[in-house]
Amino acid sequence: MVEFDDIKETGFLGALYSTWKKSLFSPEIFYKDLNGRNPENIMRPYFYAIIFTYINLVLSFFWEVIFFKIGFYKNYEILPKIPLFFTDKKDIVLYVIIGIIFLLLLLGILYTIFLALLTAVVHGFVLLMGGKNGIRNTFRVIAYASGVGVFSIFPLFGFNISAAWFAALLVIGIKETNGIPTSRSIMAILLPFIFVSLILAAFLMKIIITR
């Protein structure tokens, strides 16, 4: 049972924690439970992914302030462009709050687009590798792997941990929910990144050549 798909039994926080713990530390069991259970429900996993994306942002923001206080506005250049009429120092708190709210809304929109594109690309390669479940299943696998965002609590190398763990969860999730071998599941996750990297490399080469 995926607790976050039915939060009535354990409550919101209980379901959130239980799903996070199980998806990260018992992924084989978790994705076997996910397979075939309420495949049409994509809103719960979507909100789960959004929650941990914001957690990731808050933790990253915290370390940004701690270690890069001097270069804060250089790293977040968008903040000074939000209302320019805050020129008095006493209004700086309001200025920062509005900037953070704007960033949260912008991140939510961008992450939704990213999640949709990632699902479409990964699902295409899952089908090539012999996967039989629908695109909603792939979306649920990706969304429920988003709990790795909490590893941003570790400064400097937290992103690397999150990225590696995220890829591993996708491999396990695709394997368990589609019933394909591990090698094909790895290829289904690896090929999209190779594909995107080649496109970016070609784009950069074109820019360099034209200059």
CA distances from 63 to 56, 66, 130, 152 (A): 11, 5, 42, 9
Q: Closest by alpha carbon to 57, among 118, 11, 112, 100?
A: 100
The DSSP output letter for 154 is S
pTM of the predicted structure, to 2 decimals = 0.80
Find the range with the poorest average confidence among 8-22, 34-48, 113-127, 166-180: 34-48
DSSP output for 162-181: HHHHHHHHHHHHHHHHHT--
User: Taking 50 as the threshold, does the pLDDT of residue 209 lie above it?
Assistant: yes
Tens digit of each residue's pLDDT (9 = 90 or more) over 52-111: 988 887 777 776 666 655 454 454 454 445 444 445 556 666 777 787 788 888 888 999
